[in-house]
Homo-oligomer: A and B are copies of this chain.
Amino acid sequence: MQAEPPMNGDAALAALQRRVRDSFARQAAMTTLGVTLGAVAPGRVSVRLVHRAALTQQHGYLHAGMLATALDSACGYAAFSLMPADAAVLTIEFKINLLAPAKGPLFRFDGMVVKPGRTISVVEGRALQFDTEGGEEKLVATMSATVMTVTGRDIRH
């Protein structure tokens, strides 16, 4: 690869955000579920979701798998935001703890890198629900995820 001229802070942030948005837009599952990308900063990414019946479990709450999907996306992109421009991100594992019934109706999922690494990064996620936009937040789930930086065409583990 040819070296790019160095970018200043604003340009670097804009490039990073564009990289995250482009990759997120290719996650068809996000469109299917209605998960949208929120704030993107180095090492921190948020995604959003609005409760709807199509995503529920048998008691009418958001299915644990939907929480996991949105949190995995937030965590993966949080790590991706710190990776080299030509790298891809691969989730190796995650654990989720479900703390309260996920009623929403508004959800925000925050991914925050705890330990960036050349090969392995560790990221934590928080799923928050809100009655109204800007209302009081309630923590409904936590995630701890391990993601891998993959370069070139190599996405084998």
Report how many residues on chain A are interfacial, defined by Cβ distance under 8 Å: 53
Once the chains are docked, how many angstroms separate the CA of A64 from the CA of B94?
10
Query: Chain A's interface: helix, strand, loop or mixed, by majority?
Result: mixed
In residues 53-107 of chain A, which contact B (Cβ within 8 Å)? 53-59, 63-66, 68-70, 72-73, 88, 90-101
User: Is B146 a contact partner of A146 (Cβ separation < 8 A)?
Assistant: yes
Residue in B28, B72, B96, B117 whose beta carbon sits within 8 Å of that of A55 in the complex? B28
The reply to whether A64 and B91 contact each other, CB–CB distance below 8 Å, is yes
Q: Which residues of B contact A122 (CB under 8 A)?
A: 93, 97, 99, 142
Of the candidates A88, A93, A100, A144, the one having the most CB atoms from chain B within 10 angstroms of its own CB is: A93
Given contacts A29-B55, A29-B63, A88-B59, contact A157 B69 (CB under 8 A): no
Q: Which residues of A are in contact with B by a Cβ distance under 8 Å? A: 23-24, 26-29, 31-32, 53-59, 63-66, 68-70, 72-73, 88, 90-101, 114-115, 117-120, 122, 124, 139, 142, 144, 146, 148, 155-157
